[in-house]
Amino acid sequence: NADKAKNEAVFEGVKDIPRISELDWKNTKKFEEVSSQSRLHPLIEANDVIMICGAYFGDEGKGKTVDDVCRNPKIGMVVRVNSGENAGHTVFHEGKKFVFNLAPSGLLKGKVNLIGPECVIDPISFMEKELQQLIDAGIPYKENLFIGNAHIVTPYHKLLDFIQSAANSSTLKGMSPIHSSKVTKRGIRLDHIFNDKEICKKRLEKDMESYTAALKLRNLSEAELLKQCEAMNADGNIRMPLHVLNFVKAADKVQYMMDMYEQRVVKNPAFPNRRDVTYAIRDTLSKGQKVLLEGPQSYWLSNASEKFWESSTSADTSAHGLLATSRFNPQKYKTLVINIHKTPASSRVGIGASPSSYIAQDYFSRQSIQTLNDLPAGACTDFDAIQKAFVSSIQPNGVVKPTVYKDGTGEYGIGVAMAISSALHHGECGATTKKPRIVGFFDCVAHFEVNEAQGPYLSISALDRGDDYDKVGITIAYVYYSTQGLVAESNGRVYKNCDIIKAGDPLPTEQILTNCHPIVMLFDGWRDSPIYNKKRQPGTPLPKGCQDVIGAIEHFTGAEVISIGNGPNADNFIYLKKVGGTQEAEEVAANFPNADKAKNEAVFEGVKDIPRISELDWKNTKKFEEVSSQSRLHPLIEANDVIMICGAYFGDEGKGKTVDDVCRNPKIGMVVRVNSGENAGHTVFHEGKKFVFNLAPSGLLKGKVNLIGPECVIDPISFMEKELQQLIDAGIPYKENLFIGNAHIVTPYHKLLDFIQSAANSSTLKGMSPIHSSKVTKRGIRLDHIFNDKEICKKRLEKDMESYTAALKLRNLSEAELLKQCEAMNADGNIRMPLHVLNFVKAADKVQYMMDMYEQRVVKNPAFPNRRDVTYAIRDTLSKGQKVLLEGPQSYWLSNASEKFWESSTSADTSAHGLLATSRFNPQKYKTLVINIHKTPASSRVGIGASPSSYIAQDYFSRQSIQTLNDLPAGACTDFDAIQKAFVSSIQPNGVVKPTVYKDGTGEYGIGVAMAISSALHHGECGATTKKPRIVGFFDCVAHFEVNEAQGPYLSISALDRGDDYDKVGITIAYVYYSTQGLVAESNGRVYKNCDIIKAGDPLPTEQILTNCHPIVMLFDGWRDSPIYNKKRQPGTPLPKGCQDVIGAIEHFTGAEVISIGNGPNADNFIYLKKVGGTQEAEEVAANFPNADKAKN
C-alpha cells in the first residue's frame, strides 16, 4: 500500500465533488448478434484500404481482427508500414504458434505481405527470431513476403537504447536511437548494404558517433557495458542478442557490421526478396484489390500523440501515421479504420500517465516488482472477493475510495489488490517475464479523441471477461486533484483541484493527466449469462449488462461498436447490430566554370547513342482556356472540408501565392501550420508592407484564425524577435487570431548541435535534426513544460542537453572555440546564430539560463500568443461546417518520410500525408483537397542530394565554394538569352544533354553551369539576403508522377510566365541511368545498369541511384511573341500554343490536372484553366460514399 497516504489525500479532496449528471444516463440501445458476412465484410467491400489500429496503449488484441479481415478474398496485400520489432502479435497456423514482430499476420494466409520503407528493422534478429520459425516448420515465404527500403537497426542502436533509457521505459529494441538516426538522416537503410560499400561504411562511422559519445559522457567502458548486457540475459530471457554482444567485443566495429550484413543479409538466400512497397501498394489498389494496413502499437503510444508524448514510442502508430507512411492517395481510395480496445481490464505498459488505471502506472516499477514472482506467494489470488470489494469502493459520485484488502499475505490497497489479481486472472503480464501490465477501466475520455480522429468503428476485445464480474466499470470523466495543490496549464487551459474533464473536453497533456483520477460508472456484470464462446450458444441474446456497457461506450465516445471478443481465438467474435437501428457500411571556384567536364563528357559518351524513346514523339492535343478563380478554384474548395497546399518538388515552389488565393474564400475559417519549423517560410505583402514568416501562417493578415500545431517545432525567442516583432512594429494586432499549441521547443543547444554535427551547406542551422531527435526520443521539452512544474522542466532540459555535452566531448571542442566559430558566422551581418544562442554558450548555468529566458520572454511576456489545443480546434471548426486550410511547409520530396530522397530530406513529414497525420481530424468523415504546387521553367531545389533534372549536380556550387553569387567573376553568364539558346541546342534528338561549352568575357563554362548561373540571376533563384544560388532544372515528370499518385491530381504551376523568355521550354520525361564507374546498383530489389531508362510511372529508385540518373528532355516552343506575364497580357487572351503544349505534356506524363499557372509574383497573378470541350470535376473522391450528399439532400 505504498501510495496509501497519497490516495487518502486525493480521496479526501474529491470525495465531496458533486455527482455529475452523466452518471444518471440510462442505456436504451439494444444489440443483437449478426454474422461477420453481414457486419464486417460490407465495411471491407465499401472501402479500398483497411487499417486495424490500436485505440489505447497497445496490447488491445488487434491480431484477432487482422486475422478475421484477412479472410476476405478481396484483401490482396497485408502491410506493416512503420515502427519495428517493439510491436508484435501471435498467430496460430495448423496448431502451431508463431510469434511475429514485423512480419504481417497475412504471412500464413496466402496473402502478399510487405514490410515498408518507414519500418525499422534489425535484419539479424528478424531472420533469427521471426523467419527461422517458418524455416523450421518448412513453410515457404519467399514468394509472399517482401521488404522495402527499411531503416536498419544496428547493434549500436540497441546498446544506445540500453545506455540512455530509464528503467522500465524501453523495450531495448533500439527504437528511440534508430528513429533519431532516421530524422537526422545519419543511419543506413537496406539499399545501402546492397550498394556502394564505402558509402555504407562512411555512414555507419558517422552515425556511430552517438554511441561513442554516449560512452564518453558516462565514462562507461565497453568491458563494463558488456558485463551489464550479459547480466541482463542471465535469466535466460535474451534481452540483448548475441550479434549485439559481439559488436561490443569487436575491434573494428564498422567492419564487423559490414561483414555481418554482407553474409547474413545480402548473400543470404533465405533473406526475403525486396520491393518498392509504396509503389506496390498503389499498384495493388489500381488493380481493384484491397490493402490491409496492420497497425503496430496504438493511437496513444504514437510519437505524434501530443497528450502522452513523453511516454510514447518513436513512430506515429496512429491511423494517421499508417496513412502517411503508406503513400497512397487518400482522395482517390477510401479508407476504413477499425479501432481496437480491450475491456474489462484495459491495459498499458511502460511509464507515463494512465488516469483510468487501478494504480499509478509506475507503481510496480517503483516497488521493484519486475515479475509476479516478486510478490509473496499466494498474494491477491481471490479474484472474486477482490473484484467485489473493489466495486464496493466506488462511491456514488464515481470516485474510488482507497479501502484496504487483506489476505494471508498482508494488507493491500484495494487498487493494488485489483491490479495484481487482474494481472493474474486475465493473464495481463508478459508471457516469459511475467511482468504485470497495469490495468484499469475502459477510458471514454481518451477514446472520445480516438473516435474523433480515427473514426467510429470499434471492436472491443475480451468483453467476455465481464462474465467474472459483479459490476463492470468504465471511466466517463476525470477529476483533477494534485496533493501539492498545483495549478497546472495545458494548451492555455488552467486546471485546479476538483476540476472535471469529461469525454469531449480537450484532453490535457501527461503532466496534468498524472494528477487526474477516474470518475467511474458501473453496470451489472453478466455472471449468470456468460458470453465466453465455450459457454454460450451462438445467437443467444446478449445479457443486459453487456448491452449497457456497449451502449454507454457508444454514448460517451461516439463510437459504433461492430464486434466484441468472446475468447482468445481468431474466430471468437460476436458481431453486432443495433436492434431497430440503422447501420451504414462507411461514413467515412578554380575549375568552377566547368568542374564536371570530364564526368559530363563520360556520361554523354555513354548515353549519346541510346535509342530515342517513343514518348519523345508524343503530340499534344489538349487545349486550355482561361477561366475565373470563382469557376475553377472555389468549386474545389466548396466541395471539400480540408484544403492542403503542398509543395510537389523540393520546396520554394511558390506555395504562398496559392495559400493567399485560397484564403480569400469566405468559408475558410482557419489556417494552420501543423508541422516542421522555422526552416520553412514565406513572404506576405499587406498594405504595401512586406512580412517574412517562418511558422506563422499566411492567414494571419487576412482576418482568419491562425494556429501553430503541437507537432511544430518552435524557438519561441526567434519567433518573437523575427516574426511577431514585425507585427508589433507595424501596430498590427494578433492576439485574437494567432494561437499556438503544445509545440516542441527548439532550444539554443539544438541550434548549436545542428551547427556542430552538420556537413557544410547541408542544414539551415535552425536546429531541425536535433529537435526532431529529441522529439522521437521523448527527451526534449514542449510549451506546456515551461508553463508548469519548473523542476520537471529543469530535469528534462538537463537530460536532453547531454547530447550537446557529448558532441563537444566527442570532438574535443571547447565552448570558447565554439563561440568563436559562431560569431565568425555572423560577421557578415547575416545572423545565422542568434544572440540568445550565443549567450547560452557563455552561460555558466545553462539550464537556469534557459529557464529564466523562457520565464521572462515567453511565460510572463504579454506579447506571446495565446495558447490552444490545436487538433481539438481543427475538429471543432470542421464540426461547425467551416473549412480548414493546412499550409504545407517544404514539400513531398523533402519529407523525412520520402524514402527516395531521405538522405537529403528535412526532419519532418512535410508531404500531404504528414499534414494529414499531424492535424488529427478524421479523414473518413471530412473530405480533403490537395493542391500540389510546382514551378517551371527553372524548377529549383536547395541543399544537398540528388536532382536528376537539374542543369548541374546538386552539390556543384558548394563543391566549388560558391556560397553566394558574389563569389562568381563579375559579369559571368549574364547573357541569359544567348545562354538559353545554346543550352537548348545542346539537347540531342534522343533527349540527352550534350556537355557543350559556353564562352563569355569571364571564361569558358560548361553549358549546364552557364544555364544554372544565368537562371539564378535571371529568375532570382537565390537567397534574398545571402544571394546563395539555388540549383535549377527542368520540370521533372518522373518524380511528379509519384507525387500525383500519392497526393492527388490537382496541380498549380507557378512561374510559367518565365517561358516568355525562352526559345524552347524543356521538361524531363524520363531518366537514363549511367555511372562513370560502371556501378550496377540496386534499389528495392530492382537492378540498375548503365543506359537503363526510368520513365514516368516506373518505380522511382533511391537517392544513391538517382545521383547517377540524367534527364531525357522533351522540348516545346517557348512563347516569346505571346507573353503571358500579367503586365504584358490582356486577361482572356488565348494561351500561346507552346504554353498549352507544356501544360498538356505535364498532364499526359504525370496524370496531373493543371488548374492554374502563375504569371507574375503577386497573390492574384494566376491564370485559372479549363480544358476546352473537356469536363472538370470539382472532386473525384467521395469519402462518405454511402450518403455523401446527405446534408445537401
User: How does pLDDT run across 503-531, given as a tens digit for each residue?
Assistant: 999 999 999 999 999 999 999 999 999 99
pLDDT of 798 higher than 50: yes
More confident residue, 964 or 72: 72
Contact 852, 794 (CB under 8 A): no
> What is the rounded distance in angstroms from the CA atom of residue 56 to the CA atom of residue 977?
63
Which cell numbers hold the place of 106? Answer: 497475412
Query: In the block, which residue shows the cell 521533372?
Result: 1036
pLDDT digits (tens, 9 = 90+) for 240-270: 999 999 999 999 999 999 999 999 999 999 9
Strands (E), 122-182: 145-147, 151-152
> What is the rounded distance in angstroms from the CA atom of residue 1152 to the CA atom of residue 1039?
12
Which cell numbers hold the place of 61? Answer: 488484441
Q: Which of 339-343, 382-386, 1143-1147, 1180-1184 has the lowest mean pLDDT?
A: 1180-1184
How sure is the predictor about 568, in pLDDT bands with cuts at 50, 70 and 90?
confident
Query: In the block, which residue shows the cell 466517463?
Result: 476
Q: The pTM is what?
A: 0.89
Contact 153, 120 (CB under 8 A): yes
User: In the prediction, which pLDDT does 1177 show?
Assistant: 34
pLDDT of 683 higher than 90: no
DSSP state of 833: S
User: In the prediction, which pLDDT does 760 show?
Assistant: 64
> What is the rounded distance in angstroms from the CA atom of residue 1178 to the CA atom of residue 1048?
13
> Residues 357-383: what's their mean pLDDT?
88
How sure is the predictor about 1173, in pLDDT bands with cuts at 50, 70 and 90?
low
User: In the prediction, which pLDDT does 1179 show?
Assistant: 35
> What is the rounded distance in angstroms from the CA atom of residue 465 to the CA atom of residue 37?
25
Strands (E), 825-946: 866-867, 883-887, 928-935, 939-941
pLDDT of 1191 higher than 70: no
pLDDT of 1186 higher than 60: no
> Residues 480-493: what's their mean pLDDT?
94
Q: What's the whole-number average pLDDT of the chain?
A: 91
Active site residue: 243, 425, 555, 682, which one? 682
> What is the rounded distance in angstroms from the CA atom of residue 1155 to the CA atom of residue 661?
13
Least Cα distance to 962 among 760, 820, 1187, 740 occurs for 760
User: In the prediction, which pLDDT does 1181 show?
Assistant: 34
Which cell numbers hold the place of 1047? Answer: 497526393
> Residues 272-288: what's their mean pLDDT?
95
pLDDT of 1175 higher than 50: no
pLDDT digits (tens, 9 = 90+) for 526-554: 999 999 988 888 778 899 999 999 999 99
* CA-based max dimension of the chain: 99
Which cell numbers hold the place of 595? Answer: 568542374
User: In the prediction, which pLDDT does 167 show?
Assistant: 65
> What is the rounded distance in angstroms from the CA atom of residue 1079 to the CA atom of residue 1031?
26
> What is the rounded distance in angstroms from the CA atom of residue 264 to the CA atom of residue 492?
53
Q: Which of 344-358, 420-434, 896-910, 1062-1076 has the lowest mean pLDDT?
A: 420-434
Burial (0-12, 13-18, 19+ Cβ within 10 Å), 557:
buried
> Residues 327-350: what's their mean pLDDT?
93
pLDDT digits (tens, 9 = 90+) for 173-209: 999 999 999 999 999 999 999 999 999 999 999 999 9
Q: What single letter denotes the amino acid at residue 778?
A: K
Q: What single letter denotes the amino acid at residue 387?
A: Q
> What is the rounded distance in angstroms from the CA atom of residue 60 to the CA atom of residue 63?
9
Share of the chain above pLDDT 90, in %: 75
Contact 637, 608 (CB under 8 A): no
Alpha helices in 165-276 (DSSP H): 175-183, 190-193, 197-207, 209-218, 222-232, 242-249, 253-261
What are the two backbone dihedrals, phi and then psi, of residue 790, each rounded to the nearest 5 degrees? -70, -35
DSSP state of 887: E
> What is the rounded distance in angstroms from the CA atom of residue 651 to the CA atom of residue 1023?
13
End-to-end CA distance of the chain: 61
Query: In the block, which residue shows the cell 531545389?
Result: 941
pLDDT of 133 higher than 60: yes
User: In the prediction, which pLDDT does 928 show?
Assistant: 95
Backbone CA torsion sign across 221, 222, 227, 230: positive
State whether residue 481 is helix, strand or coil.
coil
pLDDT of 656 higher than 90: no
> What is the rounded distance in angstroms from the CA atom of residue 575 to the CA atom of residue 288?
27
> What is the rounded distance in angstroms from the CA atom of residue 41 to the CA atom of residue 47?
10
User: In the prediction, which pLDDT does 1183 show?
Assistant: 39
pLDDT digits (tens, 9 = 90+) for 1099-1124: 999 999 999 999 999 999 999 999 99
pLDDT of 587 higher than 50: no
Whether 682 is a known active-site residue: answer yes
Contact 1045, 592 (CB under 8 A): no
pLDDT of 1180 higher than 60: no
pLDDT digits (tens, 9 = 90+) for 1125-1156: 988 888 778 899 999 999 999 999 999 999 99
User: In the prediction, which pLDDT does 40 show?
Assistant: 94
pLDDT of 588 higher than 50: no
pLDDT of 584 higher than 50: no
Which cell numbers hold the place of 906? Answer: 528535412
User: In the prediction, which pLDDT does 592 show?
Assistant: 67
pLDDT of 715 higher than 80: yes
Which cell numbers hold the place of 991? Answer: 533527349
Per-residue b or e along 635-652, where b marks 16 or more CB atoms closer than 10 Å to that residue's CB: ebbeebbbbbbbbbbbbb
> What is the rounded distance in angstroms from the CA atom of residue 870 to the CA atom of residue 492?
11
Per-residue b or e along 825-864, where b marks 16 or more CB atoms closer than 10 Å to that residue's CB: eeeeeeeebbebbbebbebeebbebbbebbeebbbeeeeb
How sure is the predictor about 761, in pLDDT bands with cuts at 50, 70 and 90?
low
Backbone torsion region of residue 890, taken as left when φ is above 0, otherwise alpha when ψ lies between -120 and 50, otherwise beta? left
**Which residues lie closer than 8 Å to 541 by C-beta, 6 or more apart?**
32
Element (H, E) at 459: strand 457-461
How sure is the predictor about 430, in pLDDT bands with cuts at 50, 70 and 90?
low
pLDDT digits (tens, 9 = 90+) for 996-1026: 999 999 999 999 999 999 999 999 887 644 5
State whether residue 1129 is helix, strand or coil.
coil
799: Cα within 13 Å, side-chain hemisphere: 16
User: In the prediction, which pLDDT does 67 show?
Assistant: 87
Alpha helices in 463-569 (DSSP H): 510-513, 544-557
**Which residues lie closer than 8 Å to 564 by C-beta, 6 or more apart?**
459, 460, 461, 463, 464, 531, 546, 550, 573, 574, 576
Whether 179 is a known active-site residue: answer no
The DSSP annotation for 180-207 comes to HHHHTT-S-BHHHHTS-HHHHHHHHHHH
User: In the prediction, which pLDDT does 168 show?
Assistant: 64
Least Cα distance to 1013 among 929, 927, 952 occurs for 952
pLDDT of 643 higher than 50: yes
pLDDT of 432 higher than 90: no
User: In the prediction, which pLDDT does 1187 show?
Assistant: 58
> What is the rounded distance in angstroms from the CA atom of residue 577 to the CA atom of residue 252?
63
Burial (0-12, 13-18, 19+ Cβ within 10 Å), 675:
buried
pLDDT digits (tens, 9 = 90+) for 845-878: 999 999 999 999 999 999 999 999 999 999 999 9
> What is the rounded distance in angstroms from the CA atom of residue 407 to the CA atom of residue 415?
14
What are the two backbone dihedrals, phi and then psi, of residue 342, each rounded to the nearest 5 degrees? -135, 135
State whether residue 119 is helix, strand or coil.
strand
Active site residue: 468, 652, 869, 1141, which one? 652
